[in-house]
Structure formats: structure tokens, C-alpha cells
Structure 1
Amino acid sequence: MGKQPNLYAFGDTDSLAKALRKYILRCQKAGFERHNAFKIAVSGGSLPKTLAKALLAQDDEEGKVDFSKWEVFFADERAVPLDHEDSNYGLLKKDLLDKIPESIGKPTVHPIDVQYMDDVQEMADQYQDALMKSFAAKDSVKIPIFDLLLLGCGPDGHTCSLFPNHELLRESDAWVAPIEDSPKPPKERITLTLPVVTGGIKIAFVATGEGKRDVLGKILDTEEGRSLPCGLVNEGGGDKVSWFTDHGAVQGVGFTRSEL
């Protein structure tokens, strides 16, 4: 194996959020230096709440969040209306976007086009088109290179809507793929593909709580866990990948901790 991911563990969610803010601001600075923008992909679940805690903090010595130059995509999305409780956009809007003060700018956000909810292949194609408009045409770049992907980890080791042993893990051509048989409801979704996820400049997982302990032990400590979707991101991303966890999630996990 090449360079290993970074594992950061914190005593509580406040400490985690503060460290995540510092990390995101570093990524933002690099994005601004690279192309005067900050292009990120985010997941749903509990992540938007943690992001709100990290990003809505007042300016501090770490620097300032400048949302006006942010471009926000979704690492995966459900084929549901944007105000549905299962919508990742809806979660991010409720927990973060609606709470951003005007003084720190508003990000450009790319939700799914809900007119294609009954045709997830078309929805995936349309979302891929949105990526092409932002990053480059597909015939001129192999994959879109995000400045940062902010991801979660399911109890089965899935991330985005990439599930264990699913054929989508082998998709290497499309940037965005449909899934119509998600083992977790709702069944119909779209997701960034594995090459796009591992191609990011930086990739961060946020996983907290004792309920994540078993799966993190598997992903970080066992050979078997390397074939789970989160393990495949670790393998493909190496030290571009950072895990932000609390002590409960990694209690008993042998993987070496890093210092931020």
C-alpha cells in the first residue's frame, strides 16, 4: 500500500468541528490560489450539521470563510423533491445554507434537476453536464478535480451512494452514475463514481459515534475492509484522505492517529 490516510480523533464534536474548520479553510485557500474558486462535493446524513458548526463559527485566527467563491455539488443525491426529508440538498439547505449570513457571501449550489426524478439515468446525465459546465468538457479532461470532497461513512462501509459489492464500484467511464437498486432507501439515486471521488485534491470523511466503531475498525484495520467503498477511497486517495472522528467512533481501532 502507498501512503496512508490521516486519522484524526477528537474528544467531542466541538473540537472536531473546530479542527474541520481549520482543514476546510486550508483547502479553500489552496482552491483560491489554484483557480480563484473553491469547488467541493458534499454528502448528507449528519454531515451538514457538523459543517454548520464548523463553518458558521465567527472568523478566528484560522481565517475567513468566503462563500461567494464556493461552488457546491452533491457527492450523491436521492431522486426525491428538494424539500423531501431524504434530500441531501434539503438537509444542507436547512442545516447550513439558510443560516449563512449575507456578510460572508452565498455559495453557488448545484442541486439535481427534479424534472428528471422518474428517470435517474437522465438525472445522472444532467448532473454530469453541470459538472462539465463547471470543470471542463468530458473530452478534454478525464475527471473533474474537486478541491475537496466531504463524505460520510455508512455502517456497512458505503460512501456517497457507492455500496459494498455493487457493480457501480467498477464504473470507470461516467462521472455521475444512476443507481436504481440502492440497498438503503430510497432506491433511486445518483452518485459520483469512484474515480471522481478518489481524484479529488483532498477527501475528508466525517464519522462520529460509537455506532461507527465496528465499521471503522474493519475499514482501517483489516484486509477485508479495504474492499469496502470507504476502504477503496482510502486505497485510491492515500494521504489525500483524512478521517475526522470522535473517540467513540475509533475506540479499539489500531490505526495510527495523526496530528492536524
Structure 2
Amino acid sequence: MNDDPDILVDRDADQLARSISDQLVSTLAALQAQDRVPAVVLTGGTIADKVHRAVAARADDGRVDWSRVELFWGDERFVPADSEDRNERQAREALLDHVDVDEALVHPVPADDGTLTVDEAAARYADVVRDRVFDIVMLGVGPDGHVASLFPGKPTLAVDDRDTVSETDSPKPPASRVSLTFPALNRGREVWFLVSGSGKADAVARALDGDDVTRTPAAGVRGTEQTLWMLDEDAAAQVPDVQ
């Protein structure tokens, strides 16, 4: 596993989103040029939404064949499929509805349809992602240092024998969620942390300093080939030697 992260800093969230979208399109195009179907783990949040919209705006350039990209989610809120809280809904509205995806290659976490429990949803998603190696894992970071739905101090941080967990008491609503575990996230060849805003600066600095994962879960995810932190200046404000 690569223990030396790369750090890229942009002026603000808008410029950061453009840089991430450039990186994503270039990486996917390069993988497809090798006749591969890239496997990508998506994240949610404000910066992810900006990235998705930036990618969609340039979809007509033809560099990426979106019907040959396989998509997963690092975590999901266990809510009805049409809820605005769904990371899947956010990604579809910003990106997937605007590109020619193959739905057979799009793997959302099961939604709360009134018949499943959150534990059952996690188990079903485990069947989907079991032993999968991801080309790109994109992650946001919370002000508390959480990634996906792995939160500080939670017993889910210690799970190492399965690829998904359920969380029923998230400190950030909604309370019920499904998340990939550290073992699944750490199968990413490239892990990209996408972080903007001064409210995340302390968590970013702690993670890059190798803080204990029970306090800063973001410190526990690394790519097997590359770990890339893509930050705006506010998020990077407490990281030495990057301004």
C-alpha cells in the first residue's frame, strides 16, 4: 500500500472541482485506452456535486465512454430512493442522467423501500462489492474526520471481516446508513480525497499527520498505487508546506 500521499491545492472550491473533473476524465480515458472498464467509487457532498456537474458539462468531448464505466458508492443514506438525502440521487441528477451509462454497470446501495432493514441492505451491497478492486475511490472528509459513513469512535471502524457495515446512529443525519469498510475502501488502486472549506482544515491536517483512525477515520484509507488529496486553500490551511 502506498503510504506517501500526493497533495494538490487549488484556490477555491470551483477551481478544485474543475481540477478534479480534469483528473477524472483523464484517468478514465487512459484506463479505457488500455481496453479496461474502470471501476469507480463515487462519494456525495457539495464538492462531489460540483465535480459531477463539471464532468457532465464536458461529456460531449467524447474522451470517456460512460457506457464502459462501472460505478459504485462508498456509502449511502438508508432512505427512500427518491429522497434528496440519497448520494445516488445527487449523482444521477448532476452526472449520470447526462451521460450514456450502462445501468447494468451502475451499482447503487439498496434504498429503504419499506421491505428491507438497513442490515439487509448492507448485506446485499456486500454481495455486490465482495472482493472487487476499484480503480478510483473518491472520498469526502467531514469536519470530524469521517470518511464514507465511518465515524470517529464507532465500532464500525474495527470491522475487518466484511466489505460493508450498517450504521444506525450516525452523528450526522440521517441516522441510518450503509458504508464500505476500511478493507473494501483500501482495495482502491487510487484513493482521492476531495475536500474544500476551512471547516475541514483540522481534519485534513490530522489525517495527513497519521492520526489514530478511531479519532480521524480518514487516516485509515490509502490507495494501493496512489493516495491523492485534492484540496482548496481553505481545506489545506493547516497542512505544513503546501501553501
TM-score by length of 1: 0.81
List runs of 5+ in structure 2 lacking aligned partners: none
Please give the residue correspondences for 1:148-159 in structure 2 after superposition, counting only pairs within 5 Å. 148-159=136-147
Matched, 1:113 2:101: no
Q: Kindly provide the amino acid, as one letter, of the partner of residue 201 in structure 1.
A: R
More helix by share: 1
Residue 217 to residue 57, structure 1, CA distance change in 2 (3 Å): same
Report percent identity of matched pairs.
Answer: 32
Residue 65 to residue 170, structure 1, CA distance change in 2 (3 Å): same
Matched, 1:76 2:71: no
* 3-state SS of 1:249 partner: coil
Matched, 1:207 2:195: yes
Residue 228 to residue 239, structure 1, CA distance change in 2 (3 Å): farther
Q: Kindly provide the amino acid, as one letter, of the partner of residue 168 in structure 1.
A: T
CA contact (8 A) 2:77 2:174 kept: yes
Single out whichever of 52-61 and 196-205 deviates more from structure 2.
52-61
Report deviation, 1:221.
Answer: 3.5
The answer for the alignment partner of 2:24 in structure 1 is 24
Matched, 1:243 2:229: yes
CA contact (8 A) 1:43 1:151 kept: yes
* C-alpha distance in structure 1 between counterparts of 2:31 and 2:18, whole Å: 20
* C-alpha distance in structure 1 between counterparts of 2:13 and 2:115, whole Å: 35
The answer for the alignment partner of 1:90 in structure 2 is 89
CA contact (8 A) 2:154 2:214 kept: no
* C-alpha distance in structure 2 between counterparts of 1:178 and 1:255, whole Å: 38
CA contact (8 A) 1:40 1:146 kept: yes
The answer for the alignment partner of 2:220 in structure 1 is 232
List runs of 5+ in structure 1 lacking aligned partners: 133-142
* C-alpha distance in structure 2 between counterparts of 1:60 and 1:81, whole Å: 32
Report deviation, 1:4.
Answer: 1.3
Please give the residue correspondences for 1:1-260 in structure 2 after superposition, counting only pairs within 5 Å. 3-32=3-32, 36-58=36-58, 64-98=63-97, 100-101=98-99, 105-108=100-103, 109-114=106-111, 115=113, 118-132=116-130, 143-221=131-209, 223=211, 228-233=216-221, 236-237=222-223, 240-254=226-240, 256=242
* C-alpha distance in structure 2 between counterparts of 1:117 and 1:211, whole Å: 38
